[in-house]
Each structure stands twice: as C-alpha cells, then as structure tokens.
Structure 1
Amino acid sequence: MTSSSQFIQVVTSVLKKDALALPSEEALLLQPQDEALSARFFYRNFSGCRLPANLFDQQGKRQVHNVAAESGDDFPPVIRMPEQSASGCAFVVEEARLYFLYDRMERWADAPDHVALVAVRLDPERIAALAMQGEAARLAPSEYLLLGHLLTGLDLKSAAATLGASYDTKRKQIQIILDKLGAKTQTALLRALSLEITGAVLDEILPQQTQSRETALIKRQFGRDVIAHNIAIGDGPDIPVWEFGARRGQPVLYFHSMLAPTVFHDEMVNLLKAHDLRWVIVPRHFLELDGRGDIQARLHRLTDALAETVDYLFDAPLICVAESAGVPWAVHFAKQNPDLVSRLVLAATPQVSHPVEPTDNSTIFVEMSQRLRRDERIITGLTQIYNAFSRVPALAQKGLAHMYRKSPADSACLDSLFQKPHLAEWLRLIANHATFASIDELKNLQRDWLSDLKATSCETLFFHGEEDPISPIEDIQAIAENLPEARFHIVENAGHLVLSQHFGSLLAQMLEADASQPIAN
C-alpha cells in the first residue's frame, strides 16, 4: 500500500478526530468540469433545502460529492429515472433507501445541460412524519423498505419477491404499517403518501422568487448602519454597492479578503464616522459576471465595471484599501484607473508567487500554492475542498485555526469571530453561491500582480502584522523598499487578520498627511 501524500496528511491532521469519508486524492483534486458546473449550480440553488438532495447527469452519474459527509451518508454513484415515468416525478429504491426523483430541469434557468435530475433522499422519519397528522410513528427498517418499493409502483407480491421474502410475510407487515400510519387500505395510504411527499419535496426544491442572500446577510449583520443598493450603467451588469460611515465623507473603496466581504470589527462604523470616511464595498464574490474567458478577461470586466460605478458615485479620487486576496484586484484597478485613485492601502499583502520547497511542516496554504504551480487543473478540486470545509462551521474553524496556528493574535481573533455567527455565515454563503469567484481568487493570487503595483503612480501604504503566518513580513517589506512612493507600517501583536484586529490604527495611518516619510522599521 502506498503512503498518502503530504496534502492528504495535512488535511487529516487538521481533521484529527473527525472521521470523514474523504475520497481519494485524485477524486478530490481532479474534479471533472461537468461536476464542477454541477456543484456550482447545486449550491446556488439547493443550499437552503432541508432535505438531503443531489444531482445526476444524463448517464445517471452522481454529480455532487460532499467531502465532509460522514461515511454512509452519501448518495449512490448511479441513479436513473425509470423509463415509464412521464410526470417528471418518480420514486426509486437504491442501496436500501428510497429516493424521490424530479427531472424537469428547465424549471431552473441556470441548470447545466448535462444535469438530468434532482434526487431527494427520503428517510423513514420523513415518510412517517408526512403520513401522520400528529406524532410520527417509527417505521422498522424492513417496513420502510417495503413501503419504499410499493411507492415505486410494485405490487405487494413483486415487492416481496424483490425483498426476498414470502408474500404472506409482507402481507402481514403491510397491515402493521397501515395501523402505524393510520390508514385503512394500502391503496389509500400509497395515494395519500405519494401526494404528500411530492408536494413537500417540490416545495423544498423548486426555485422561489430570487433574492440577494448576500444583501440579506449584510443587513442582518449591520442593520441600519449599512446602505445597500445596486447600480447599473447603460447595458452593463448590476453592481451591488454597500456603504458605511459618513454619507458625504471622503470615499474609500474596500477590496475585501477571500474569507468575507466585510471587516469584522465591532467599532467599524463608529470609527468610519469619527474619521469622516465613506466606506464602500463592492462584494466581488457575488457579482453576476459570467465565467467566460480566463481570469485575466474576468479581471478586466470587473475593473471596467468598478471604474464606471466609482466614476458615477464620487467626484474626487478615492483611497483604495485592500486586504489579503483583495490586493491583486486593487492594484490592477489602480494601475488601470490612475485618475480615480489617490492612495493605495494594502493590508496583509499576500506573498508574491514563487516556488517554495515543501517541508514537513507545510500548511494547507503552502500546499495549495505548490500544487497550483505544478498543475493548474487541480484548482477546481482545491476549491471543492475549501468550500466543503467552509460549509461546516466546526470544520471551517479547524481549518482556519490550522492555517493561522503560528500567530497567537490570529488564533485569538478567530476564536472570537467564531463565537458570533457572521463569519461562519459568510463562509457558508460564499462556498454555496460563489464557487467560480473562489476559483478566481486562487488564480488571481498566482498571477504577477506585483508588475501592476510597480506600474502604479499613487502613494502606497503597507499595513502588515508582525506575526503574519501567511505572508512573511520580510518579503512584503522588501517589496515596499523597492517602491518609490511607499510606506511600510508594522503592527505589533497582529497577524494576517490585521485589519479586523487593528482597524482604527489602519484608518489613522491611512489619513496621515505626510505619506512620503521613509519606510518604518
């Protein structure tokens, strides 16, 4: 038996006692393109479904693989619609479980062409609850299977033969089921239960009126302290804009990190008002920019849309603040639109992409970067893993704790953030509804964004945590020393989450009148 790779070793070391059914490394990292499209569609449309569901393609192949699922809790690898089904709905039994199938995929405007059906697993408790008006009865496993086969359309004799039991045994058992579920006849039970299940499942899975989940979450987090609206210029896309702080203050455009589109600081709004700042966020993870072209093409489309929006909103040049993965986006924007940007403020600037020799102590972050450089095909698979962790708060906390474990400041900050709901909610929302955006974030970090930064002409402030475990401070300081209009501010007792840890300090440094002083040590 071959030993597992360093990547799998790192993942399992993070999970520790969590016994999850991790597939092979090849299955994790080399996800087919069709399955990647299926996963994006699935999580955008079914993440709120309270019933276990999955997608299957035209060949009956399962499309969504939950790498965080417990063993035995996944769907069968193959499910097909029965040939005799004409209503769009059908019941099938696979691997001793009952499934409801629905194949009218035209009901979803964004359904990929290769997706053939939605499958919903119906556990014994769900069937019993739908059959009973009051307290649900408990079905034995053999009773559940018999009822399942009858719902698929088999008569009692055929169901008994399929289950390898005698007709008399199953005839007695169906009477027990009728008594438990309060039905008079087998026909009446099956008719009523079929209608109840169909109605309940379709209510869960069919698309409802479209609403902006990210806007609902930002309003839930900030209440009246946020102004959320959309701006569409000409035939361009709708650009969501969130504003905080002083309504007519100095404009600041924030390029957010990969974790969430906002800063997690309890006094954020009060500090912005105190400094007379109008803090504007365009949540790029949720922009409806399609996946056409490569990362560079999407980068240009985002930049153009932002430039038009900013030019409409503000009469004067603005300050661009960028955090972590937002830095490559911000410097490209500043390079392309020098007349719109007065200053760049780069917090937790990421490392410039260059080969790093792996060690026994490599983090998931380093391992991801190394694998991307060796084989870009795995980026979809890596995003799948990241998003799978992000959908489960306990796993997200463990994964981030491992990534930031060398920074006490970051560890304490994460412990505090996970005691509140908002970070976990943002992680889950991005994982479910911004799959392509997550892929672009990883790709964007690998490109030569330093060339964009060197081509900008505005003043630049680097705001960096002394104990940043992701971006070594020496590397970023070396970048600042080679830029003519740069300051480098070291923040003590801070790590990679420096903006959430020292937001007030960043604002004070950002607004210093003299930005031409020598680089600080």
Structure 2
Amino acid sequence: MDDTASEELMEALARALGTLQAELTPSLVKRVVPGRSDMADPAGTWRIIDCQLTGGILQPLMLAERHDALWRYLSDALDRQGELRGGILLDDGLALFVPGGSERPDRLAVLSDSTLFDAADELAGDLTLYPSEQRLLKQLVCGFNLTAAAALDGVGHETKRSQFKSLARKLGGGSQAEIAGRALSRIFLEIASVPGEGVSQDDYFDDLLRQFAPEARTLRLRSRTGQSHRFVDIGPIGGWPVVMLHPMILPDFRSADVAVLDTLAIRLIVPLRHGAMSRGTVALDVCAHLDHACEGIELARKHFCGERADIMACISGTAYGLEYARRHRDRVASMAFMGATVKPTTSRSTAGRLRSSLFTLSMSRWHVYSRVMDFYVRRIRRPETLRQLLMGVYRPNLVDLAVIDAEYGPPFGGERLRKFFTSSVQSIKHDFYHQALPDWSGFPVPGCRATFLHGAQDFIHPPAEVRALAQSLGGVPVFMLPNAGQLLYHNHFEAAMNLYRGFLEGRE
C-alpha cells in the first residue's frame, strides 16, 4: 500500500510542479544571495536554478553556479538524502525538482521553510502544525513516502503513520499525494497573487544583463507617443557615444570587451527592439516594429549624441539603421555596417535549407512563418537543441563554429545564448524578415559618412558582394576582419572596435 502511495505522490508532484513555468515574472521569482543564511529570510524565499538530470547526476546549466555556495549546500544535502525523489530536504528549506521537457530545461526551485509552512497554515486554518508534522510535510513534498520518511528520521513506520493521520486531519487531505499537491498548489497560488510592485514585464532584460553582462547599465526612456523604450549602456560614460543597433540578440560583452571600450573611449548606447529580451510581448506588424525601432534610435540620438548620431548597425541591425537614415537624413553623422546583410538571403547554397525556408516564409506567409518560429523557440528551450541548430547552419564555416564553441564554453555554457534567444522571439521574427530582403535604396544620404566592417570569411554575404555593394553606393570603404565569418563576436571585438575608432576619428 505504501508503494502505491509513493507512485501516486510522485505523479501528484509532477502535475503540481508542472505549473511552475518559465513565464513567472522576475518580481515573483525572488533571487536570493547564495548561501544558507538567506533561506531564513522571508523576502528572499525563491531561487530558480536551471539544471539537467543525467544518469542520476544533477548539474546546473550555468557553469559558474557549480562553484556557487548555494549549489554546494544543495549537493551536500542531496548526498545525505541519497536520492533526488521529488526534491531535496534542506535544514532550513527545500529544493523542489521541476522536470523539464521539450520546451524547457529541468529546474530546482529553492524555497524557505516559511514559504511551505505559511501555505500549510492557510490550509490548516485555526489548527496548529507541530514540528514533527511540519517535518513530515517537507518530506512528503520532497517525494518521500512514509516508509522512507521513517527510515530517514530513524523512527518506526507507525510513528510516521500517526503523524500523517494528524497532518491529514488538519490539512483536509486524504492521501499523501493529495496533501503534498494541496500544499504545492497553495504555494504557487500565493506566488501568483504577489503584486508586481509596479514593474513592467519588460524589466526582464535587467535580470539578463545582471546575470550575463554585469558591467553594462540599463536605461529606460519614454517617447512623446508614450512608448517605453529600453536601452543597454556599456563603456565609459564620458566616451564617444555611438548608437549600436544589435544583431538578433545582444552580443556577449565580457570584461575584456569593456576594457577595450574604456581604452578606446567609446560608449555604446544600444536601443533594444520591441520583443528583444522580454516576456509576454505583444506582437507587432512589420511597419509598427520598424516605427518602434526608429523611435528608439531617435531617443538614443537625442539624449546621448546631440544633433547627429554615429550609428553602428550589426548584422540584422542593418535594416533598422537604413530605415532611420531614410526617415531622418539630417540626423545621421556616420553609419558603420558590421557584418551587413547585403543581398537577399533565400538561397539554400549560402543560407542553408532551414534559414532559406524561414526567409522565404517570412516574405510570403507571415502567419505560417510566425507559428513555425514559435515552434522552434519552444524547441530551443532545451540546452542542446539550439546548439545543434546553430551547428547545422554554420557548419560550412570553421570561424563561425569557433564562435558557437565559445558561447557554449565557460563561463555560461550556452545559457546566455539560449535565454537571449528564447526571450527575443518577437524581435527575431522581424530580424529574419529584414535579413531576407535588405533594402539599400536611398543610401547613402548626403553628409553621412559610411563604412563596412565585414568578416573576410563570411560565407553567407561573401566579401566580393560586399565590395560590389560598397562600390555601387559611391565607393564606400570596406574593412575586412581576416579571421571572422558572419558572427562578429568574442575574439573579433577588439580588432573591430579599433577599426571603428579609426573610422570615427577620420571624420574629424
């Protein structure tokens, strides 16, 4: 009978924990400072850790978290417990195991004792839970049946059964599975009812930057139309302000890159496009998305650059820089195109089968294309799926594959890439669309200096075609980065920024 109860308990836990979705807003998922002492702090009741369970071994996806004090605490507790079950018992809390699936990785949700016991008190009403009953409740929620709980505490089975009967009477449950499920459901109900403290969901980019680029600053500005715009600000505040139009996702800015910006005295102001690094974003049509992007560039120019802006457009950012220059011809001082999309990219021979199909769909059947993109975003919530897709796209080019390897190496182990992609789908859809058929009409505009900085080994937009386009635009200069492909990240940053600083000084 106890074995049956154990199976029912694990099924109930799986159903209850399945409600803990990635869409929980950062204001509800409390980030606690790693360490045991924080578990007793009611204001820091939650921490979510993305992880992976392989062969009975649990490891965090973030490489840096493996050396975190909290993870060592969890590992020690799991060693003492001997088996993961539905969670990990802690001295002053518990860690619930949330199984992943095709749309998200496995997770540990670490919470304090007070969170569980407060939920139980709500269920018990005027009745008080004794410490022994609280202990049993923790064990049930972590997947222990009565036999295992008795063995863990060194007491007889009948002692635990007596405690369970009293607990069931107070919480109004009939079985072990029902009691554990009711307690978990109450916890999640309490989390969902916490007020958002007036912080919009678009503040998710704050969390991502704190985690993956802590030296960057985040800003918010509101336009005259009332639209809220978010910005990433990186580099010395007194440096030369440059409006950087990011590629599909924000590049990986590391400490060495910030040091390069400090040395060259360049400050990058990056307006985030609608849907980039966001949660629950409402979809916009192509025209509205372009309007929002141009409005963000205009706010960056007005507040940081003065009368005219120096713009650096990176890969898919090319389309937005060109559109802004067409709309505001007198407000652009210079335009540098890094890894520019110079021609239609629907050819399978260069873009690959998957990318060319997406490009074609984006131009002809937007609704179908949008649903296909949503499908792939759900797929890449699993850590290795995105890597396999990227390896397939960039397999012809060793230098691009090296960039992907760097993303999946220390310190982030691919987590930065995965989280940035999955939180930017509404922006990426439009980026694919504009990469498919770039519009160079009307450029260059009078009085705007321009240049191309391009990977000499870019197989999708080869150097010969970049030079041909540059010549057709009136002889715009082209600078090639010899050991770079289409992905201008990581070890290309210093060389690219040195070239760009020379271009800026040439204007004087």
Query: TM-score of the superposition, structure 2-length normalised?
Result: 0.62
Give the match's secondary structure for 1:493. coil
Within a 5 Å distance, the mapping from 1:39-438 to structure 2 comes to: 44-45=23-24, 68=103, 132=139, 136-138=143-145, 179=161, 182-184=164-166, 190-191=172-173, 192-193=179-180, 195-206=182-193, 209=196, 210=199, 212-223=203-214, 225-234=215-224, 236-258=226-248, 260-264=249-253, 266-284=255-273, 285-286=276-277, 291=282, 294-353=285-344, 355-356=346-347, 358=348, 362-422=352-412, 424-438=414-428
Distance 1:415 1:292 in 2: 32
Give the match's secondary structure for 2:336. strand
Distance 1:207-1:330 versus aligned 2 partners, 3 A rule? farther
**Contact 1:325-1:350 within 8 A present in 2 as well:** yes
Letter in 2 for 1:132: Q
Shift of 1:355: 5.0
Give the match's secondary structure for 1:254. strand
Cα RMSD over matched residues?
4.1
**Bigger mean CA offset, 503-512 vs 443-452:** 443-452
**Contact 1:460-1:485 within 8 A present in 2 as well:** no
Asked if 1:479 corresponds to 2:469, the answer is yes
Identity %: 15
For structure 1, the residue ranges without an aligned partner over 5 or more in a row are 1-41, 53-64, 74-127, 141-174
Shift of 1:483: 0.8
**Bigger mean CA offset, 446-455 vs 209-218:** 446-455
For structure 2, the residue ranges without an aligned partner over 5 or more in a row are 1-20, 30-46, 51-99, 107-134, 148-156, 174-178
Distance 2:485 2:350 in 1: 22
Give the match's secondary structure for 1:372. helix
Shift of 1:263: 4.1
Shift of 1:413: 1.9
Shift of 1:335: 2.4
Letter in 1 for 2:326: K
1:110-157 Cα offsets, whole Å, 9 max, x none, are xxxxxxxxxxxxxxxxxx9856369742499xxxxxxxxxxxxxxxxx
**Contact 2:335-2:449 within 8 A present in 1 as well:** yes
Distance 1:263 1:220 in 2: 12
Distance 1:446-1:423 versus aligned 2 partners, 3 A rule? farther
**Contact 2:220-2:231 within 8 A present in 1 as well:** yes
**Bigger mean CA offset, 287-296 vs 463-472:** 287-296
The count of residues paired between Structure 1 and Structure 2 equals 371
Letter in 2 for 1:343: S
Asked if 1:507 corresponds to 2:497, the answer is yes
**Contact 1:464-1:490 within 8 A present in 2 as well:** yes
Give the match's secondary structure for 1:239. strand
Letter in 2 for 1:345: A
Give the match's secondary structure for 2:428. helix
Distance 1:242 1:425 in 2: 19
Give the match's secondary structure for 1:498. coil
1:410-469 Cα offsets, whole Å, 9 max, x none, are 112221221135584444434444332222222232344222545575222111112223
**Contact 1:465-1:496 within 8 A present in 2 as well:** yes
Query: TM-score of the superposition, structure 1-length normalised?
Result: 0.61
Letter in 2 for 1:503: F
Distance 1:360 1:281 in 2: 29
Distance 1:499-1:346 versus aligned 2 partners, 3 A rule? farther
1:358-405 Cα offsets, whole Å, 9 max, x none, are 469934222322343453332212322432343222222222122111
Shift of 1:288: 9.8
Shift of 1:311: 0.9
Among 481, 488, 491, the residue aligned to 1:498? 488
1:264-296 Cα offsets, whole Å, 9 max, x none, are 455211111211212111222158997576212
Give the match's secondary structure for 2:313. strand
**Contact 1:238-1:288 within 8 A present in 2 as well:** no
Distance 1:475-1:413 versus aligned 2 partners, 3 A rule? same
Shift of 1:194: 5.9
